Structure 1
Amino acid sequence: MEINSLYQVYFNCELKTKEGVHSFISEIVCQDNPLQKEEVIHLLNEREKVGSTLIAEHVMLPHIESNQLKKSQILFIRLANPIPLWDYQTKDICLLIVILLKANESVQIKKELSLFTRTLADEEYLNRLLNSCEKEHFIKEILKKLEEL
């Protein structure tokens, strides 16, 4: 579900592995181009190798910048069930906030993404998202935070 052209919400997703999440993300951004999908998955995996994208208990922040992306987006992916093992040290992932930055993006969009990433330092906000059991409540929490930007 699209909140606006930049933010999209996927609630109660039945994804069970990191690979499944990366594939899901690539499907969203590159619907009909298999080569682009592979490139997005590759970039997500390469980012993981640089260091963990865990930003809070149960919350991951996968992020990439690529010329394979048609537009910049922030995806909120709330899982139906936690991913028990993301990698050898990261367990029980329930929420992914994915930042996808198109190469050569406008300054305006970069500013908006930067402002948004600052909201992720608010532990209470992340907990409210984690504890939202209904899609409407989840979206309301996101919108409330976006209004503060």
Structure 2
Amino acid sequence: MKHDQLFNIYKEQNFSSKEEILTFLSKESCKYTGISNIEFKNEILKREEQGSIEIAPGVLLPHFESSSFIKSKIFILPIKPEIKEWNEEIQNVHLVIAILLKTDEDSSIKQKITQFTRKLADDDYLDRLMNAETKNNN
């Protein structure tokens, strides 16, 4: 995967709960997209209520679009050890990929996001993301 300002890839992170992950991601999103911590958490939880965010066993893809974003961002967060319980339906989470799409984003950025999401259907690609060794590609 080409690394550019769209992606932030973190080394394996050690979290003990869903709340810790959401707090970490909300702080990161605030730095890069300009959205508040509270708005981030509310939007992620609202998205989760709409339907499962699990795209493969233990792989979560929370995402939402907002006009509040100053730019779009993708956070790739491998988690070790895994989070045993995310919610009643989702267990053993070992990778979180958060996609934050700026409303009216440039078509070239939208195209990069589309190309990236298509690759997520490939188990080998997901394995590489889970073992990412790059930190904070801004």
| TM-score, shorter chain, exceeding 0.5 | yes
Cross-structure match for 1:127: 127
Cross-structure match for 2:103: 103
Structure richer in helix, relative to its length: 1
Q: Is the 8 A contact 2:63 2:100 kept in 1?
A: yes
**Paired residue total:** 132
The structure number with the bigger radius of gyration is 1
CA RMSD of aligned residues (A): 2.2
Give CA deviations for 1:18-50 in whole Å, capped at 9, x if unaligned: 22222211101214xx98110111000000000
SS at match of 1:100: strand
SS at match of 1:76: strand
Q: Label 1:40 to 1:95 Cα distance change in 2 as closer, same or farther (>3 A).
A: same
- The one-letter code of the counterpart of 1:41 is K
Q: Label 1:120 to 1:12 Cα distance change in 2 as closer, same or farther (>3 A).
A: same
Cross-structure match for 2:5: 5
Q: Is the 8 A contact 1:29 1:70 kept in 2?
A: no
Cross-structure match for 1:61: 61
| Aligned residues with identical type, % of pairs | 34
1:14 positional shift: 2.1
Q: Which has the higher contact order (CA 8 A, sep 6+)?
A: 2
Cross-structure match for 1:46: 46
Q: Where do 4+ consecutive residues of structure 1 move more than 2 Å?
A: 127-130
* Structure 2 unpaired stretches of 5+: none
